[in-house]
Amino acid sequence: MNKKKHRIILVEDSADLGYLLSEYLSMKNFEISWFVNGISALKNLEVNKYDLAILDITMPDMDGFSLAEQMKDRFPDLPFLFLSARSLKVDVLKGFYLGAVDYLKKPIDEEELVIRIENLLNRLNSEKRVEEDIFHFKLGQYTFNSLNQELVFNDEIFHLTTKESELLHYLVLRQNVLCSHKDILIKLWGNNDYFNKKSLNVFITRLRKYLEKDVNISIDNVHSQGFILHLE
């Protein structure tokens, strides 16, 4: 029983990023069509069906916002997300105002993009709504802003260090899934040796300390394997 591939339309004018993303996403078992401008994308949407659109915001001729508007008119059921180098509040707001399901800041982390896409498609299928946008994660009674590196519990605000934030972000994206030492260390430290593993332990302890106020959150160790961020 092989699952049907999800079909994604990517509109990105940069050849580098467009090529990179389409390669990576097809490797990750998505069926991906890449267009370099809004006109050709719209034309293609007339004849093909997609599950998700990924739109770059800054493009010549037609920018991602205008494209999204036209898409909304003609293909109201197609969810879309934006890619953008700009993090202006007005841009982000405008994005969500237009009905975007997500807004990712460049540079794009391909692995994170895949996780988000998968979450999104799951969520859209199951109608489950989670409070989540670019930087904001709902973490039990906490909210975690990965961009500002802030973890908030009620009116208490914890300013996380970069490593703390990166680690929490990594775990949150993969909540309730075992994350091996090895993968964490390679992704966040660049290599997987004895001393970095010791360092990781220290950071796990710190995160546990931050998160202890909500008993429904725990970071559990799987002996000689790695860690799981458990929710509920």
Give the binding range for DNA (CB under 7 A) out of 29-37, 57-65, 69-77, 154-162: 154-162
Interaction pattern, residues 180-199, with DNA; x per rule: CB under 7 A: -x-------x-----xxxxx
The listed partner (a second copy, DNA, none) that binds 229, CB under 5 to 8 Å by sort, is none
Report whether 26 contacts 3 (CB < 8 A).
Answer: no
**Per-residue x/- marks for a second copy, 122-161, CB under 8 A?**
----------x-x------------xxx---------x-x
Q: Of 215, 223, 217, which Cα lies nearest the Cα of 171?
A: 217
Beta-sheet pairing, 226-231 with 217-222 = antiparallel
Shortest separation between residue 198's beta carbon and DNA, angstroms: 5
Query: Going by DSSP bridges, is the β-strand pair 52-56/80-84 parallel, antiparallel, or unpaired?
Result: parallel
116 binds DNA (CB under 7 A): no
d(CA 186, CA 183): 5
What CA–CA distance (Å, rounded) separates 201 from 195?
Answer: 10
Please give the backbone phi and psi of residue 106, each rounded to the nearest 5 degrees, phi first: -75, 155
Using the rule CB under 7 A, which residue among 74, 86, 209, 213 binds DNA?
209
CA distance 159 to 180: 26
Residue at token pair 């509109």: 11
Q: Whose Cβ is closer to DNA: residue 5's or residue 208's?
A: 208
Binding site for DNA (CB under 7 A): 159, 161-164, 181, 189, 195-199, 201-206, 208-209, 221-226
Binding site for a second copy (CB under 8 A): 87-90, 93-94, 96-97, 132, 134, 147-149, 159, 161-162, 173-178, 220, 222-225, 228
